[in-house]
Amino acid sequence: MNTAAIDWGFAPHPVDYEAAVKLMETRVAAIAAGSAPELIWLVEHAEVYTAGTSAQPGDLIDPDRFPVHRTGRGGQYTYHGPGQRVVYVMLDVRQRFQGDVRKFVCVLEGLVIEALAQFGVVGAVRHGRVGVWVAREELGAGREDKIAAIGIRIRRGISFHGLALNVAPNLSHFDGIVPCGITDHGVTSLQGLGLSVSMGQADAVLKQVFEGEFGTVRNIGALSAAAISAQHATG
């Protein structure tokens, strides 16, 4: 297994979605070439809907509400916006998971479940529904809400995209899509569950659980989109 230190950084300001994708692609190429370390990058986006490779046109209910970006990650439609922690995970899946993408996704789901447990929230995975779910029996028998979405892409053995944890986003914005193509369950957040959790607190817990899985990361602090672009401008 690859035991090299992983860079851990966060964007201090909201990152344009298309710019983030381009910069991830650049970093992935550098990781694959051995010229840059792996990176876990925590960001927030301005309001945007994104369509994964399995997105169905009918699941975009309100196409004029926010910009819509088609992207190469797996999954269907999702929403990104303020109050949601997006964790972009650029790791060498060849080395760390022997190329087993399913195992990699399961590990990401498990890390979210571990993080939620730190806040007293019981998360779970469900067959046929990627992501992490919480029971909402108070809203109806069998009701479960999604609290974290996962969608990745692999290029040259390196992952990008990642996961999105709902800390305190405006949940009404999920009404403009059928999130992940699922109509019989809802979407929630830590705030929606009655918890007051800051983004900093969520980040600290995420760092803890990621280090439990991958070993100590190299904290590189604030890392803007412009800084990543400059890092690889001559690469």
* CA-wise closest residue to 112 among 181, 213, 20, 186: 213
Whether the Cβ atoms of residue 149 and residue 178 lie closer than 8 Å to each other: no
Mean pLDDT, 10 residues at a time, the chain of 235 residues: 80 92 94 96 96 88 93 87 98 96 96 98 90 86 90 96 97 87 81 97 98 95 75 57
Q: What is the pLDDT of residue 228?
A: 67
Q: What is the dihedral of CA 12, 45, 215, 38, to 10 degrees?
A: -90
| CA distance linking residue 154 with residue 73, whole number of Å | 8
User: For this structure, is 106 an active site residue?
Assistant: no
Backbone angles phi, psi at 115, to 5 degrees: -65, -45
Q: In this structure, what token pair is assigned to residue 47?
A: 């309001």
Domains and CATH numbers, the chain: 7-231 (3.30.930.10)
Whether the Cβ atoms of residue 76 and residue 174 lie closer than 8 Å to each other: no
Q: What is the pLDDT of residue 20?
A: 93
Strands 186-187 and 144-155: parallel
Catalytic residue among 40, 89, 116, 180: 180
Q: What is the pLDDT of residue 52?
A: 86
Q: What is the pLDDT of residue 73?
A: 85
Q: What is the pLDDT of residue 1?
A: 46
